[in-house]
Amino acid sequence: MCTTSVTMSSSSIVADVLKRLFDILASAVGLLFASPILLPVMFLVWWQDKHSPFYVAPRVGQGGEPFRMVKLRSMIVNADKSGVDSTGNNDRRITPVGQFIRSYKLDELTQLWNVLKGDMSLVGPRPNVIRETDLYTPEERGLLLVRPGITDFSSIVFSDEGDILAGQDDPDIAYNQLIRPGKSMLGLFYIEHRSLWLDIRLCVLTAVAIVSRATALKAVCGILSDLDANVELLQIAARAQPLVPRPPPGGTRIVTSRDGNPFT
């Protein structure tokens, strides 16, 4: 029994080391190859209002520790002062250059710096603001056991998040009702089945999703099926049906507020 425990522990350590080495190598190469795209866009962001092209966003990382996530700024200066954390594609805070940045997910590329530093991983549950993690159910707090990532299953499944939230009266509540439940379920599923091979496949599919979201969704459903995901998770990942409000994992009621009692 003792031998099995040591073997499993050693295997886990090796997997973590390989994942970190992959993160370092891929993020360093990614920053190098992305620089011909990032540098001109950074200049355009600065040129439109003469302010920093970066937005340093406070996020909650592994173990609940805060960190500063670097994003290419797609909104007006001090957009975060509005108190709204979720963003629809019709959000008036998005600048003209920001629309282009968001269309091609260029704001995510600068997060490769956070991966290189060790704040994030290439693949893992997307990091959230503290106002959202404070709402986590005990089950959802499992999302904080690993480094957050630039991409994962949910980044592909909900790559149209801006379209989902566009026109919503309260984008933050709509996020909690329509996106958070599936996003958290997919994040927890990833943690349970994470591997270097899965990370590589998800990185490739994230790029594919920019060109053909339908192809990427089909491939994600195939991976989930191979990993014995339940019917509910497969239905969420397929995105064939309209999103409907549902409770988050471990919850029994739908979120209706981010203050006080967040449930109905």
190 in a domain, yes or no? yes
Q: How far is CA 104 from CA 77, 108, 179, 206, 210, in A?
A: 21, 9, 20, 11, 7
Q: Please count the structural domains in the chain.
A: 1
262, part of any domain: no
Residue 247 in this model has a pLDDT that exceeds 90: yes
Length of the chain: 264
pLDDT digits (tens, 9 = 90+) for 114-138: 999 999 999 999 999 999 999 999 9
Structural domain includes residue 27: yes
> Is residue 142 one of the residues assigned to a domain?
yes
Distance CA 187, CA 256 (A): 22
Q: Is residue 45 part of a domain?
A: yes
Return phi, psi of residue 58, to 5°: -65, 130
pLDDT digits (tens, 9 = 90+) for 25-84: 999 999 999 999 999 999 999 999 889 999 999 999 999 999 999 999 998 888 877 666
What pLDDT does residue 190 have? 98
In contact, 133 and 61? CB cutoff 8 Å: no
**Is residue 243 assigned to a domain?**
no
- pTM of the predicted model, to two decimals? 0.88
- Residue 148 domain boundaries: 14-238
Task: Give the integer Cα–Cα distance in Å for 182 and 192.
Answer: 15
Does residue 258 sit within a domain? no
pLDDT category, 3, cuts 50, 70, 90? very low
In a domain, 2, yes or no: no
